[in-house]
Chains A and B, each alone.
Chain A
Amino acid sequence: MRDVAVIGIGMTEFGEIWEKSFRELVAEAGIKAIMDAGIEGEEIDALYIGGMSTGRFIGQEHVGSLAVEVAGLEDLHIPSTRVEAACASGGVAMHQGYLAVASGMYDIVVVGGAEKMTDVVGGEATNILASAADREWEAFFGATFPGLYALMAKYHMHKYGTTQEQLAMVAVKNHYNGSLNPKAQFKRRISVEDVLKSPMVADPLHLLDCSPISDGAAAAVLAPLEIAKKYTDKPIKISASIQATDTLSLHGRKRFDALPAAQHAAKLAYEKADIKPKDVDVAEVHDCFTIAEIIAIEDLGFVEKGKGGKATEEGLTALDGEIPVNTSGGLKAKGHPVGATGVAQINEIVLQLRGEAGERQVKEAEIGLAHNVGGSGGTAVVHILEVI
């Protein structure tokens, strides 16, 4: 297997982007990434695009072909594959792109992710997101997606004494980081009180504990490390790309205070990259709900299991903390166009490692980690990226 590098990134602004179609979002992110990488269209060997539920959000499946058309690559007839793993669709697309280059099958691969969620009305979006859960044995009985994370939150609070205030602090931190990210959906800073006063969605999760419904797209260009320098002065090495799986339903898992698939992916990723959790300088984690970030920093070994709430309260994961988490604003503030999220996380880590993250730049960031989750933990993808 060959070493793989990210040689280009690009993404749209995230948010309710009513003036742009799915097609335009895909085009914008893809073109930005291709320009950033300095490649010619004819150098591209394959495309992978993550999309969770384009069929239900915009009535459009077959987005592999759509992506080739918007990129103007149809005469090359290159393979283009749409990848679906709920909210981890983007991360799994990255993993597929990584495998394609690492294996030697392809040299230049463009990975994209996109979702256009605001064309459907509110309740419908919630219902589509519930399809990431078990339709027959969870959703049928009235469980919602926030509801499943609320079950984990309640469990974590009961077992470890995690508080609603600590959950809220995740949102406060991520909104602060979002205020420094020009691409973020929410640039408004909020307080713990704002979170606790926002309407309850599923106890103990308030509206401001939840990531929003968003439109957006992101892309990354991958190449073998050995030729990456030909394209960029700052290639970022993918030192691990690990995907793991667990049961579709939450009730089928071995434990409810962790996402075992994420723990597994993290363990294998650290082994592959030959680093320890404390070596990570900056991380993007899947904070679809505030409790998800607390569980994530525990699963990733940044803190001991059960200590995530306390660590957040003490500022471990703040922009100026020991391990800054979700410097982009995370799913919470940057926005969460589901299929795009995993690739957008890679965008942020690459920016940080290149030293191009502007006001939210983490000093001397050399190792970054991205943690992307599908559903309530049925899929998890961990990428470790490094400056070379």
Chain B
Amino acid sequence: MGVPRYWREIPSRYNLIGKKCGVCGKIYFPPRSICPTCRRKSAGKMEDYKLDGKGTVESFTIIRVPPPEFEGKSPYAIALIKMDEGCYLTGQIVDCNLDDIHIGMRVEACFRRIQEDGKRGAIYYGYKFRSLKS
């Protein structure tokens, strides 16, 4: 991965900056340029919006055969998470026993190392999720 390609997504990956439609108010993450409900009316009206970072596990899996960039990191959990703002995203669940992960589990975002680029020596950071202690 080229470093600029990674750098461009930093605000969203570090701080969960998504978009809010200036017309209907719906929140999108990852960020979108057009609201699929308001379409044309939303052009130029999508505003930055920071997610609170809390959500619920809709589904999850344990990756046992990882892609090359995650060699040596498996097994790890990947989940489909519904954020409290109503949007969905994909992320890892960490800091817990893999057996304790379940659908409906409350989670919160944390800032972590995601992957390393061996050749360039670059380390890429972003969000992962951990159990939300109420």
Residues of A within 8 A of B (CB): 123-124, 126-127, 130, 136-144, 146-147, 150-155, 158, 199-205, 249-252, 256
Q: Is B76 a contact of A142 with CB atoms below 8 Å?
A: yes
- Measured CB to CB, the nearest residue on chain A to B88 is A251
Residues of chain A lying within 8 A (CB to CB) of residue B15:
none
Closest to A204 in B: B61
Q: Decide if A144 touches B126 in the complex (CB within 8 Å).
A: no
The one of B65, B70, B90, B114 in contact with A250, judged by C-beta atoms closer than 8 angstroms, is B90
> What A residues does B126 contact at CB under 8 A?
140-141
Interface on B for A, CB 8 Å cutoff?
A: 9, 30, 58-71, 73, 76, 78-80, 88-92, 103, 114-115, 124, 126, 128
Q: Is B62 in contact with A143, judged by CB distance below 8 angstroms?
A: no
- A141 touching B78, Cβ below 8 Å: yes
Contact of A252 among B70, B73, B78, B88 (CB under 8 A): B88
Are A136 and B9 closer than 8 Å at their CB atoms? yes
Judge whether B92 and A151 touch: CB under 8 Å. Answer: no
Q: Which residues of A contact B60 (CB under 8 A)?
A: 151, 154
Closest CB in chain A relative to B6 CB, distance in Å: 9
Which residues of B are found within 8 Å of A126, using beta-carbon distances? 65, 67-68
Enumerate chain A residues within 8 angstroms of B64, measured Cβ to Cβ: 199-203
Given contacts A158-B59, A256-B80, contact A142 B92 (CB under 8 A): yes
Residues of B contacting A151 with CB < 8 Å? 59-61, 78-80
> When the two chains form their complex, are residues B103 and A124 in contact, meaning their CB atoms are under 8 A apart?
no
B65 to chain A, nearest CB (A): 5
The answer to whether B114 and A158 have CB atoms under 8 Å apart is no
Q: Which residues of A contact B67 (CB under 8 A)?
A: 123, 126-127, 130, 139, 142, 144
Alpha-carbon distance between A147 and B61 when the two chains are bound, in angstroms = 6
Complex Cα distance A289/B64, Å?
16
Chain A residues within 8 Å of B30, by CB: 136-137, 249
Evaluate contact between B103 and A250: CB separation under 8 angstroms.
no
**Residue in A136, A141, A144, A249 whose Cβ sees the most chain B Cβ within 10 Å:** A141
> How long is the Cα–Cα vector from A28 to B89 in the complex, in angstroms?
44
Q: A124-B68, A158-B103, A256-B80 in contact; A141/B58 too (CB < 8 A)?
A: no
A144 CB to nearest chain B CB (Å): 6
Which chain B residues border A205 with CB–CB below 8 Å? 61
B65 touches A202 (CB 8 A): yes
Given A154-B60, A251-B88, list of 11 further CB < 8 A pairs? A123-B67, A123-B68, A126-B65, A142-B67, A142-B76, A142-B92, A154-B61, A155-B59, A201-B65, A250-B90, A252-B88
Contacts A142-B66, A155-B59, A200-B64; is A250 near B115 (CB within 8 Å)? no
Q: Which residue of A lies closest to B87 (CB)?
A: A251
Query: CB-nearest residue of chain B relative to A145?
Result: B67
- Check if A137 sits within 8 Å of B59, measured CB to CB: no
Q: B59 contacts which chain A residues (CB < 8 A)?
A: 151-152, 154-155, 158, 256
Q: Is the CB of A137 within 8 A of B68?
A: no
A368 to B78, CA, bound (A): 37
| CB atoms of A249 and B66 under 8 A apart | no
